[in-house]
Amino acid sequence: MTGSELAWVPPPYAEPGRFSEHGVTVGTGPLAVSGTVSVPSGQAPGPGVVLLAGGGPFDRDETSGPNKPLKDLAWGLASRGTTVLRFDKATYAHRDVAAASDLTMTQEYVPHAVDAVDLLRSHRSVDPERVFVLGHSMGGKVAPAVAVAAPTVAGLVIMAGDTQPMHHAAVRVVSYLATLLPDQVPPAVIETFQRQAALVDSAELTPSTPAADLPFGLSAPYWLELRDYDPVAIAAGLSKPMLILQGGRDYQVTVANDLVRWRTGLAGRPEADIRVYEADNHLFFPGAGPSTPAEYGTPQHVDPAVIADIAHWLSHGQR
C-alpha cells in the first residue's frame, strides 16, 4: 500500500470513549463548509478551540498523505476535556474559491473562522469566555487577524506560525531542498522562485499580475496582502494569552527565520508562552536528523508532549 492508501489510526493518546463527535455547518450561503465538533463526555462547560489548517486546500483533518495532524489534535484535546471544532477550508470544499483571481488570505480564512468561534461559544459544552483559536502554519499566521475580527476569542495557540515573508521563505525552502535532494530540485527551480519573489517585492506587482507569474500560483491580491501582513505586530496589539509552539527540525517554518520574530516582537510579554520541541518537524511529528518531505509520507502522529502541553494550557496555563 502507498502512504496515501494507508488508513489513519488513532494516536495512543486519543481515548474515543471520552468524547463524541457531531457534524456542523460553518459559514452560510454558497460558501458554507462542513465541520466536526469533538465533545468531551459528561463535564461542566469548559474550554473550546477552533482549529485552522495550514496554507493550501486542506480538509478539516489537514490530511497529508496517511497523516491527519488536525484530527490528532482534535481527538487528543477532546480526550482531555476541550471541545474542538475543525472544518474543511473553503478552498477545499469549493475549488472555484481556490481559483478566484481576487482571493486573499483574509478571505480564505477569516469569515469561516469567525463563524466557527461563534458556533463554539454557543455550544452546550463550552464556556463562551474560553474559546481559543489554534492555527497551524498559515493558520497560525492568520490567527491574530482572526482574534481582531472576533474580539471574544480568549487566546491563541500558534503552531509553526510563519513570520518570514512567505515569498522569501519559498526561496529559502527550495534552496534547502536543492541541497538535500539535488536530483529532485534542479537550479532552475530555485531561479524560478527567485524571479517570482522579486516580482512580489517589486512595484510592478499589481492586482492584475497573472497568478502564473507568482509563487505557488496564488493570485496577485493574495500576495499584495501577504507582503504587508505582519502577524507579530497584530499579535502584539492583542493583549491576549498566546501559546506559540515551534518544531526544532522544521525546515518550512524555522526557529532562525520565523520564531525569532515572535520572540523579538513579544519580548517581555508575560501572556506569550513560547516553546520549542527540538525533535519535531513542521507537522510536529518527532524524528531525528534533517527533516525531509518524505517524512510526511510515513504514518505518524503529533507529538504527545505537544498535545499534553496544549491541553494543560487551554485548561489552566493561560490564567
Question: Which residues are the active-site residues?
Answer: 137, 250, 282
Place of cell 522569501: 168
Paired with 155 in beta bridges are 132
Cβ atoms within 10 A of the Cβ of 222, count? 25
CA distance 309 to 313: 6
For the chain, the straight-line distance linking the first and the last C-alpha, in angstroms and rounded, comes to 47
Q: SS in 3 state form for 195-249?
A: HHHHHHHCCCCCCCCCHHHCHHHCCHHHHHHHCCCCHHHHHHCCCCCEEEEEECC
Computed on alpha carbons and rounded to an integer, the radius of gyration of the chain in Å comes to 19
Contact call for residues 252 and 169 (beta carbons, < 8 A): yes
